[in-house]
Amino acid sequence: MKQAAAQPRSTGTSFVVTASHDAVLQAVYKYQLLTSAQLVRALSYSPNSLARVQRLTKQLVDTEYLLSLPVPVVRGKAPLVYALARKGLNYLKDAGFDVRSYFRPSKEQERSYLFLQHTLALNDVLIAAARVAQVTPDYFLATFTHERVLKRMPYKVTIWHGEQQEAVTVIPDAFLLFAKHLKNGRKQNIPILLELDRNTTEQRHFRRNLRARIAFIKQEGYKTLLGTNTVTFAYAIDVGSVKRREELRSWARKEFAATSEQRWLSNLFLFCDLPATLEPRKLFLTPCWFTPFGDNPRLLLTE
> SS3 sequence, the chain?
CCCCCCCCEECCCCCEECHHHHHHHHHHHHHCCECHHHHHHHCCCCHHHHHHHHHHHHHHHHCCCEEEEECCCCCCCCCEEEEECHHHHHHHHHCCCCCCCCCCHHHHCCCCHHHHHHHHHHHHHHHHHHCHHHCCCCEEEEEEEEHHHHCCCCEEEEEEECCEEEEEEECCCEEEEEEEECCCCCEEEEEEEEEEECCCCCHHHHHHHHHHHHHHHHCCHHHHHCCCCCCEEEEEECCCCHHHHHHHHHHHHHHHHHHCCCHHHHCCEEEEECCCCCCHHHHHCCCCEECCCCCCCECCCCC
For residues 166-185, give the mean pLDDT.
94
Q: Cα–Cα distance between 121 and 78 in angstroms, integer?
A: 16
**Residue-level pLDDT at 104:** 57
What domains does the chain contain, in order, with CATH numbers? Answer: 1-109 (1.10.10.10), 112-303 (no CATH)
Who contacts 288 (Cβ-Cβ below 8 Å, separation ≥6)?
Answer: 272, 275, 282, 297
**What predicted TM-score, i.e. pTM, was given to this entire model?**
0.90
**Residue-level pLDDT at 2:** 47
Q: Cα–Cα distance between 17 and 229 in angstroms, integer?
A: 42
For residues 164-188, give the mean pLDDT.
94
**Residue-level pLDDT at 252:** 97
For residues 98-121, give the mean pLDDT.
71
**Residue-level pLDDT at 8:** 47
pLDDT in tens, 207-216: 999 999 999 9
pLDDT in tens, 36-64: 999 999 999 999 999 999 999 999 999 99
pLDDT at residue 303 is higher than 60: no
**Residue-level pLDDT at 135:** 94
Answer for the pair 15, 61: CB distance below 8 angstroms, yes or no.
no
**Residue-level pLDDT at 10:** 47
Top pLDDT among 284 and 14 is at 284
Top pLDDT among 12 and 144 is at 144
Model confidence band, residue 98 (pLDDT cutoffs 50, 70, 90): confident
Q: Cα–Cα distance between 303 and 290 in angstroms, integer?
A: 16
Q: Mean pLDDT for the chain?
A: 89
For residues 119-145, give the mean pLDDT.
95
pLDDT in tens, 249-294: 999 999 999 888 888 899 999 999 998 889 999 999 999 999 999 9
Model confidence band, residue 1 (pLDDT cutoffs 50, 70, 90): very low
**Which range among 123-132, 163-172, 259-268 has the greatest average pLDDT?**
123-132
> Which is nearest to 232 in space by CA: 196, 259, 271, 263?
271
